[in-house]
Chains A and B, each alone.
Chain A
């Protein structure tokens, strides 16, 4: 197995709710190699979103270690975490999470500006990505003028803008009809074939089937980790 790009070691994450401590993740260890396509599955409340937030450097483990591309993120401060999110990770959310007052092109450009890219550079990259997801004719539309499937494609283009190591998707097809969902999944396949590492949270078995590897969680712990033989 090649050098893992994501490595979780005995990761715990607990939430304090008054006197009660909720343990969302209890000692999870997981390695993911570059170029893998992983589906994280499990019943509601098992800790999928918590895991994805940790993987996305939006949150830090209560204990344990998380190495992303060899860097232990628990030693990083807020600015460094922001930088890692912007440069190495791409997010795709269930509810698209586009910025409503910006048009499609500007939405795709957002991560580039936080990296200090110039306006011309950002524009060129954004136009290229909009073409790649098939939205080159909608560049100056606002998000609310697009269908759900189109909005999610914008979100994918935005996630690709900074050419990240890993793309994280949380129920990316959850809000979409089956046709649009298939289109999005086809796009994921395409990305994975182009060498992107994809980690996708889903509770839909048919969605999970498209991944090469399915990680099942149960009550904050690893239940199974199965690879589909090619």
Chain B
């Protein structure tokens, strides 16, 4: 019995849908124009969402690479010293993070587990005739674990290497590739100035350094990094660094370029970062350092993304509203044009709800077809964007489904009034309509 009713219902529905499609096909240009509002609305929202999602994914990956439990301090040349160094030739500029900063943080701020100090020197790294402009990072053995930057092959240097101030190094994946395009880098040596370093490890590539096949970096130029023990760096370079800058020499005394502080409890990152900032402010007269809190950046990104999504949502709502009004307009015209037909159907036994269903189905077919077309375009556009512009795009499966459902719903909402108007007509009046 219920099966019978069900099949009856579905055959009725099928018939109503066929009827609706036919009447839309009868005015195909008009139907198409009516759908366009929904098509463009849905398409632009899906495409923009995919592009935005992709961009924010890349940004978040970059931030995550820094470590969400980390606080990163960097030496920055204070702006007021910029002129001084340019004018005086024999002046040695003294700024930045000191070893005392590390001990102060360790001594006074609770909740800090590990600290990674680093010296960073900009150097040319050679393998015979191949050259790479790289940042040479003198650091400690636990750097990879702290910065989520792991060793892909070989090993990182150990405490023993550190104590012995060995000339060993781990190369960044990209520079290893460029210095040793044809051979295995492990066990080979690279040269910086007069010093030779044995390659003991190659790092994993960083996500931000993803490159496309033209060799251009897709996001920002990835800086090649080569890692050596901090002790080695101290011995080879000393405290004072020389920098060549457009003809003139510059002498700088920077103890540490970068210090990464790991906070034990993820909940405490912000609190600890405030304490660190406070401590640094009290001990540095000049602003010769910078504090980066990846978690804060992450939160900021998330906030930006939320705002972006709200804006997108508003655009979607407005375009669906406009599309819905278009559908309502056409359906009202449709109902007026077919007043006579409505009268005929009523005389032949159509109930009010039969008339409502008929016109509602037409409206939903219109908006649903618009939604489907919009989804197709909206999925195609990010695909084109990522292959042409090399941008990463992510289509979350929810967005096409939601977009399609909502546009079909728009048909119901905006088709309801015209359909009710059709059903409310007096059969006698409708039959008399010319």
Enumerate chain A interface residues (CB-CB to B < 8 A): 53, 56, 58-59, 78-79, 82-83, 85-87, 91, 93, 97-101, 110-111, 113-116, 118-119, 158, 162
B318 to chain A, nearest CB (A): 35
**How far apart sit A87 and B351, CA to CA, in the bound complex (Å)?**
12
> Are B349 and A118 in contact (CB-based, < 8 A)?
no
Binds A, one of B7-15, B81-89, B388-396: B7-15
Instruction: Write the chain B residue with the least CB distance to A113.
Output: B15
Is B431's CB within 8 Å of the partner chain A?
yes
A79 to chain B, nearest CB (A): 5
Closest 9 CB pairs of A and B: A86-B349, A114-B349, A111-B348, A82-B351, A58-B427, A97-B344, A79-B351, A91-B347, A58-B428
Residues of B within 8 A of A82 (CB): 346, 349-352
**How far apart sit A54 and B346, CA to CA, in the bound complex (Å)?**
14
> Are B431 and A97 in contact (CB-based, < 8 A)?
yes
Looking at the complex, which one of A100, A118, A158 makes contact with B348 (CB distance below 8 Å)? A158
Enumerate chain B interface residues (CB-CB to A < 8 A): 8, 11-12, 15, 22-23, 26, 340-341, 343-354, 427-428, 431
Tell me which of B12, B344, B347, B348 has the highest count of chain A C-beta atoms within 10 A of its own C-beta. Answer: B348
A189 to chain B, nearest CB (A): 24
**How far apart sit A160 and B22, CA to CA, in the bound complex (Å)?**
26
Q: Beyond A53-B428, A110-B344: 17 further Cβ-contacts under 8 Å?
A: A58-B347, A58-B428, A58-B431, A59-B428, A82-B350, A83-B349, A86-B348, A87-B349, A97-B344, A99-B345, A111-B349, A114-B349, A114-B351, A115-B349, A116-B12, A118-B11, A119-B15
Residues of B within 8 A of A114 (CB): 345, 348-351, 354
Would you list 14 pairs from A and B whose C-beta atoms are within 8 A, ordered by A residue?
A: A53-B428, A82-B346, A83-B351, A86-B348, A86-B349, A87-B349, A97-B344, A99-B341, A101-B22, A110-B344, A114-B350, A115-B349, A118-B8, A119-B11
**How far apart sit A118 and B350, CA to CA, in the bound complex (Å)?**
16
Residues of A within 8 A of B351 (CB): 78-79, 82-83, 114
Tell me which of B8, B12, B344 has the highest count of chain A C-beta atoms within 10 A of its own C-beta. Answer: B344
Residues of A within 8 A of B11 (CB): 118-119
Residues of B within 8 A of A119 (CB): 11, 15
Tell me which of B8, B351, B354 has the highest count of chain A C-beta atoms within 10 A of its own C-beta. Answer: B351
**How far apart sit A101 and B20, CA to CA, in the bound complex (Å)?**
11
B239 to chain A, nearest CB (A): 91
Residues of B within 8 A of A111 (CB): 348-349
**How far apart sit A113 and B354, CA to CA, in the bound complex (Å)?**
10
> Are B348 and A91 in contact (CB-based, < 8 A)?
yes
Residues of B within 8 A of A56 (CB): 347
Residues of A within 8 A of B431 (CB): 58, 93, 97
**How far apart sit A101 and B22, CA to CA, in the bound complex (Å)?**
8
B82 to chain A, nearest CB (A): 80
**How far apart sit A162 and B354, CA to CA, in the bound complex (Å)?**
18
Instruction: Write the chain A residue with the least CB distance to B345.
Output: A110
**How far apart sit A87 and B350, CA to CA, in the bound complex (Å)?**
11
Residues of A within 8 A of B345 (CB): 99, 110, 114
Residues of A within 8 A of B340 (CB): 97
> Are A85 and B428 in contact (CB-based, < 8 A)?
no
**How far apart sit A156 and B152, CA to CA, in the bound complex (Å)?**
86
> Are A85 and B348 in contact (CB-based, < 8 A)?
yes
> Are A79 and B352 in contact (CB-based, < 8 A)?
yes
A58 to chain B, nearest CB (A): 5
Residues of A within 8 A of B341 (CB): 99-100
A199 to chain B, nearest CB (A): 15
> Are A110 and B428 in contact (CB-based, < 8 A)?
no
Residues of B within 8 A of A110 (CB): 344-345, 348
Residues of A within 8 A of B23 (CB): 101
Residues of A within 8 A of B350 (CB): 82, 86, 114
Tell me which of B343, B349, B350, B428 has the highest count of chain A C-beta atoms within 10 A of its own C-beta. Answer: B349
**How far apart sit A116 and B153, CA to CA, in the bound complex (Å)?**
74
> Are B15 and A85 in contact (CB-based, < 8 A)?
no
**How far apart sit A177 and B345, CA to CA, in the bound complex (Å)?**
27
B78 to chain A, nearest CB (A): 81
**How far apart sit A79 and B355, CA to CA, in the bound complex (Å)?**
12
**How far apart sit A93 and B23, CA to CA, in the bound complex (Å)?**
24
**How far apart sit A110 and B427, CA to CA, in the bound complex (Å)?**
16
A34 to chain B, nearest CB (A): 21
Instruction: Write the chain A residue with the least CB distance to B15.
Output: A113
Given known A-B contacts A58-B427, A101-B23, A116 and B344 have beta carbons under 8 A apart: no
**How far apart sit A119 and B14, CA to CA, in the bound complex (Å)?**
11
A190 to chain B, nearest CB (A): 22
**How far apart sit A110 and B343, CA to CA, in the bound complex (Å)?**
13
> Are B428 and A113 in contact (CB-based, < 8 A)?
no
Residues of A within 8 A of B26 (CB): 101
Residues of B within 8 A of A118 (CB): 8, 11
**How far apart sit A158 and B345, CA to CA, in the bound complex (Å)?**
12
Instruction: Write the chain A residue with the least CB distance to B352.
Output: A78
Residues of B within 8 A of A78 (CB): 351-352
Instruction: Write the chain B residue with the least CB distance to A100.
Output: B341
Instruction: Write the chain A residue with the least CB distance to B344.
Output: A97
Residues of A within 8 A of B22 (CB): 101
Tell me which of A78, A82, A162 has the highest count of chain B C-beta atoms within 10 A of its own C-beta. Answer: A82
Residues of A within 8 A of B344 (CB): 97-99, 110
Tell me which of A87, A119, A162 has the highest count of chain B C-beta atoms within 10 A of its own C-beta. Answer: A119
Instruction: Write the chain B residue with the least CB distance to A56.
Output: B347
> Are A113 and B12 in contact (CB-based, < 8 A)?
yes
Residues of A within 8 A of B349 (CB): 82-83, 85-87, 111, 114-115, 162
**How far apart sit A86 and B354, CA to CA, in the bound complex (Å)?**
13
Tell me which of A83, A101, A115 has the highest count of chain B C-beta atoms within 10 A of its own C-beta. Answer: A101
Residues of A within 8 A of B343 (CB): 97
Instruction: Write the chain A residue with the least CB distance to B8.
Output: A116
Instruction: Write the chain B residue with the least CB distance to A98.
Output: B344
